[in-house]
Structure 1
Amino acid sequence: MTDPDPLALDARKGLPPHLRVLADLYPKAEWQGHPNFNQLTAFWLERHGMFRQLNDLLVEGTEKRLDGANPRYGREMQHYTSAFLNQLHGHHQIEDHHYFPQFIPLDSRLEQGFEILDRDHHALDGHIHALAESTNAVLRKIAAGEDDEKEAVTLLEAQRAFRTFLHRHLDDEEDLVVPVILEYGAALE
């Protein structure tokens, strides 16, 4: 049996020190005041914030459903889960095919970091499908007028696991990407 990859999304606790060389130079608290922090970077970070909020909203909705306090649960889950997963998938496509290829040549020390983020996106695709399947199982029960508690418990577990993976990925992605933009801003124009 092989040892698990310590840099895999479900195993790591953050970026290893050798991939934090720019993150350590540019602490998060100083990002917005930097001259290379632009509107596109602010928008990108806002999107990440939106993904965190939507994921939290999904978890809270299912928790309320299990507490018997969410009569609009089915409609809300369908709407928010669809928006969340579609937007997240599209966001990753743009990063993988447009942004990351621009960043990689700027600093060869961080190439492994972008490889990790790409692997994260593939791992998250599996979680996206699992979350969609769990959501659909609940929605099928609701549509049939059947008790969906068992499926809702499974969905809540999937939502919480997804939140853990998503937050780890977004935090690491921000710690890699934003410092690259701050360090090499002029080279990106």
Structure 2
Amino acid sequence: MIKAKKASPPARPAPSTTRSIPTASSAAASSRAPPLSSEPHIDALALGVRTGLPDDLLHLRDAFPRERWTEALPETAAFWLQMHGGFRAQQAHMADAAARWRSGALDPRGLHAALIPTLQAFLQHLDGHHRIESGHYFPQFRLIEPRIQTGLDLLDRDHDAIHADLDALYHSAVAFHQAVAAPSPDAPDHANRLADVLDRAAPGLIRHLDDEEDIVIPLMILKGGSAA
């Protein structure tokens, strides 16, 4: 077992070159579109509300549905799906660690060893992935296929919401790490808080990954190298 006192605290997601990660005291405004509250249609599709995408955002997926995505995917599309698969696997691993903590199978040190290294990688890689998407790929996609503008706006807003979750995860994880490393008698309380934050963040992430794939993977397939 990795001793908590030798483990490093989670690294905070790197500051975005396109926007700041929202915090409890300061949320960065999106420069891409008006706030959600000014667009009722988008409001209904906010990440914490929607259960899928409406038909008008799925016309490319209808032209190239998921069951055909195994057919000679372009390299960028295959890599995109691989990255998303990694995020899903990390989320599942962290959920399992939290469940084992709640069942009594792990003590605080055991939870620290099982969770913190994965969370560290998750925070850094997901933030970097989103910055590349919003800063590089999405602007290209807007030029290649103007019909998916609304979908890309939605995905960018998802990124802002998810980054707020990443910030909450970071702060909860640091508090837990410090309590375990001390050691402090309130380590179990911090473990419970971290597990709760993980629970709240997971559904939005999975929803976003599924919906993003439905919007951008068919574009990459149908447009080939021009969408890479």
Report the TM-score when normalising by structure 2: 0.76
- The reply to whether residue 166 of structure 1 matches residue 202 of structure 2 is no
Which has a greater percent of helix? 1
> 2:189 aligned to 150, 159, 180, which one?
150
- The reply to whether residue 65 of structure 1 matches residue 104 of structure 2 is no
Secondary structure, counterpart of 1:171 in structure 2 = helix
Residue type matched to 1:56 in 2?
A
Question: What 5-or-longer segments of structure 1 have no aligned partner?
Answer: none
Alignment of 1:1-189 (within 5 A): 5-33=43-71, 35=72, 37-70=73-106, 71-145=109-183, 146-188=185-227
Does the aligned pair in 1 maintain the 2:151–2:215 contact within 8 Å? yes
Per-residue deviation, 1:167: 0.3
Secondary structure, counterpart of 2:206 in structure 1 = helix
Does the aligned pair in 1 maintain the 2:74–2:225 contact within 8 Å? no
Residue type matched to 2:223 in 1?
Y
Question: What 5-or-longer segments of structure 2 have no aligned partner?
Answer: 1-36
- Give per-residue Cα distances to partners, 1:25-78, cap 9 Å, x unaligned: 111010121x5x222211110110110110111111122122232353213322
Q: Which moved more, 1:104-113 or 1:139-148?
A: 139-148
Does the aligned pair in 2 maintain the 1:120–1:169 contact within 8 Å? yes
Residue type matched to 1:12 in 2?
R
How much identity, in percent, do the aligned residues show?
A: 36
Per-residue deviation, 1:188: 3.0
Alignment length, in residue pairs?
186
Residue type matched to 2:195 in 1?
L
For 2:227 and 2:220, locate their aligned partners in 1 and report how far apart those are by CA, in whole Å. Answer: 8
